Structure 1
Amino acid sequence: MREGREVGPVGLLLWCGVLLGVSFPLGKVAAEAGVSPVMWALLVSLGASLSLMPFLAAKGLLRLPRGKMLRYVVISGMVSFAGINLMIFGLVPKVGAGQVGMMFALSPVATLAASLLFGMKAPNALGIAGIIVGLVGALMVAFGRGGVEGTLIWSLVALSIPVVLAAGNVYRSLDWPAGAHPMALAFWAHLVAVVSLIAVQFARGEGVSFEAIQRVPGAAMVQLVAAALTFPAYFKLQKTGGPVLLSQIGYIAAALGLLSAVVLLGERYGPVSWIGAGITAVGIAMTIAAQTGWRVNIQGWFPIGRLTRAKLFSRRELERAPQQGYLLSARRQAVLKLLRQA
């Protein structure tokens, strides 16, 4: 993908969400063909790293990571790529592509909570409202589904997806190496994921074989292209939009995953799920509106006079600001200290 200065956070959000949503039905197609979750996750990271190599070589950015950058790509590769892709492709055959996709739609709330905990910038009132509306829609889809095979235990395991996503989103913003190019970080993080997944295959005594992947050449090619186009934009969105905005690709990916699972894979969902999908779409629209400059004046919702309202809110802000600022700063410094010691 071009470095594209003209592509803003909203464009990157839509780009990443759509491409990520393609992975859910492709993962189910691969599973039905007998491809293991480890090998399909390996294919994703392999596609991302190989596509980035020529660009980095041409720009002179293909240098071995050291120090903070090395720590960053190792943790990011292990958690956000190798780990989360194993969870996705392992759970899709158990609970359905649409269900796993909707677990991604829960990640914005988890990421928002973690971001506030570590003193990071939160979205405005409209953005927070959009996250909440999207959450309501996602829960309606998750609990209103019908006809998707799965068990309670696997559904509960799937609930760990947004927690892992939130941890990765917040970590990548907190520990971003100064001066590092987003595409270089994407390349090395996926290369770490490739090495990790190969190690998993050998630990299982299976080795690396692409024989099963050859049964679904079309799906494999689409997955490779999607991975190649996703992750340069993904890291750029991480840098420009922050973890909370980045996490909201989950809403877009979930909506696309749900639609494609029904149209292409024959999964069936009840009317409650479709209403929830519509509510999720409203949440996405609110989030985009907030990112493009809309503002909601929450103070205007209170039935009190303008002067009284101004006194109340200004007094509250004055009283709370020093304590909040100190606590948030202390939390963030504690996290960074732990990361440096790791």
Structure 2
Amino acid sequence: MDKITEQEISKNKQDVINSKQKTADSKKAWLIPFTCLLAGGLLLGVSTNLAKYAGEIGLTPLAFLFWSITGAAIILLIVALLRHEKPPLSARSLEYYSIAALVSVAGSNLIFFSAIPQVGAGFVALIIALPPLLTYLGALALHIERFNMLRAFGVAAALAGAGVLAARKFAAPDASVLWILIALCGPVLLAIGNIYRTLRWPDNASPSALAPGMLIAAAIILGMVSLLPNFSLSVPLGEVMPFGLITVQAFIFAGQFLLLFLLQKTGGPVLLSLLGAVGAVVGVPVAVFLQGEAPPEGLILGASLIALGVVLVTWGGMRMATVPKEQA
């Protein structure tokens, strides 16, 4: 009897040690998506402000977006080849590149970049924080995400923060309602893209292999748009600044979309959707202090709610990772 008791005690001790180790590993694992979220949001916030500056030096939204995306595609393709991770070329992956490129890159960014001269870089940075609710509801409906009270409250907080700022923008006397409505279509495309990329992720494909494929497809789509009347890919010749800005944006896009795929793989679509929330916290101050835009009304309340949302969604994800599925 004593022998059996000793064995049971030893087994229980080992189970406790294993449980603590799994909990520690899960918490460490969440450092990767959280880091990707912060870094990707930082690049996104900077990107929206560069798009405004591009218009001031004579670059059209389409030209700036096309050449920057093309440059980023080349950078990421080189990185993938050096890592011996060629983008897959199956029928499934080609479908993935095309649809993901349309909703996540070409369509949404063309809307945002075109709207920036009309509504300001600060406002566009703010509305990119709107996709979390749509993404979360879609993920719940499709059983990609399990319901978690902390995450739900975090998503609601981030959405409320962006909503406060957007409502104040609508109330401004010089507001362009048409361009505000057009700009608001961008977050819808981003939310669709967040869900689609999760559901249709090609089997055994790495983030660094998929990112260049999506950007190449996006460059092709934007090139086709340039064939329409009143659209051009021309860049002012004889000036260094436009080419320099395109180069900087290309590297930012390369980092941004590589982090996006890493975050998609490690954190899921809901945490991914908060990239825009972090981008808003970064992009609005840059627009105010460096671009000379007027601070949006309600900025402190809105940014505080967005920051709270990011913390709660991340914390909720960590708790879900450490609690057995049947107890979540």
Q: Is the TM-score greater than 0.5?
A: yes
Aligned to 2:298: 272
Aligned to 1:193: 218
Match of 1:157 among 182, 192, 196: 182
Any conservation in 1 of the 2:88–2:209 contact (CA below 8 Å)? no
Any conservation in 2 of the 1:84–1:164 contact (CA below 8 Å)? yes
Any conservation in 1 of the 2:111–2:182 contact (CA below 8 Å)? no
Secondary structure (helix, strand or coil) at the match of 1:209 reads coil
Match of 1:258 among 256, 274, 284: 284
1:250-281 CA-partner distances (Å, limit 9, x unpaired): 11001111111101111113552332222222
Aligned to 1:303: none
Question: What runs of 5+ residues in structure 2 fail to find an aligned partner?
Answer: 1-28
Aligned to 1:14: 38
Match of 2:150 among 106, 126, 138: 126
Match of 2:209 among 157, 172, 184: 184
Secondary structure (helix, strand or coil) at the match of 1:8 reads helix
The AA in structure 2 aligned to 1:269 is: P
Q: Distance between the aligned counterparts of 1:167 and 1:124, measured in 2?
A: 21
Q: Distance between the aligned counterparts of 1:189 and 1:148, measured in 2?
A: 40
2:114 pairs with 1:90: yes
Q: Distance between the aligned counterparts of 1:207 and 1:255, measured in 2?
A: 32
Aligned to 2:23: none
Q: CA RMSD for the aligned pairs?
A: 2.6
Secondary structure (helix, strand or coil) at the match of 1:293 reads helix
What TM-score, normalized by structure 2, do the two folds share? Answer: 0.82
Aligned to 2:242: 216
Aligned to 2:94: 70
Match of 1:235 among 246, 261, 267: 261
Q: Distance between the aligned counterparts of 1:169 and 1:268, measured in 2?
A: 31
The AA in structure 2 aligned to 1:226 is: I
Structure 1 window deviating more from structure 2 (224-233 vs 99-108): it is: 224-233
Any conservation in 2 of the 1:95–1:148 contact (CA below 8 Å)? no
- Identical positions, percent: 34
Q: Distance between the aligned counterparts of 2:173 and 2:147, measured in 1?
A: 35
Any conservation in 1 of the 2:88–2:205 contact (CA below 8 Å)? no
Aligned to 2:160: 136
Question: What runs of 5+ residues in structure 1 fail to find an aligned partner?
Answer: 296-313, 318-342
Aligned to 1:25: 49
Secondary structure (helix, strand or coil) at the match of 1:35 reads coil
Deviation at 1:285, TM superposition (A): 2.1
Q: Distance between the aligned counterparts of 2:66 and 2:94, measured in 1?
A: 20
Structure 1 window deviating more from structure 2 (5-14 vs 107-116): it is: 5-14
Q: Distance between the aligned counterparts of 1:238 and 1:287, measured in 2?
A: 14
2:60 pairs with 1:60: no
What TM-score, normalized by structure 1, do the two folds share? Answer: 0.79
Decide whether aligned partners of structure 1 residues 63 and 265 sit closer, same or farther in structure 2, where only a CA change above 3 A counts: closer
Deviation at 1:106, TM superposition (A): 0.9
Aligned to 1:168: 193
Any conservation in 1 of the 2:101–2:218 contact (CA below 8 Å)? yes
Residues paired across the two proteins, number: 294
Q: Distance between the aligned counterparts of 1:244 and 1:252, measured in 2?
A: 13
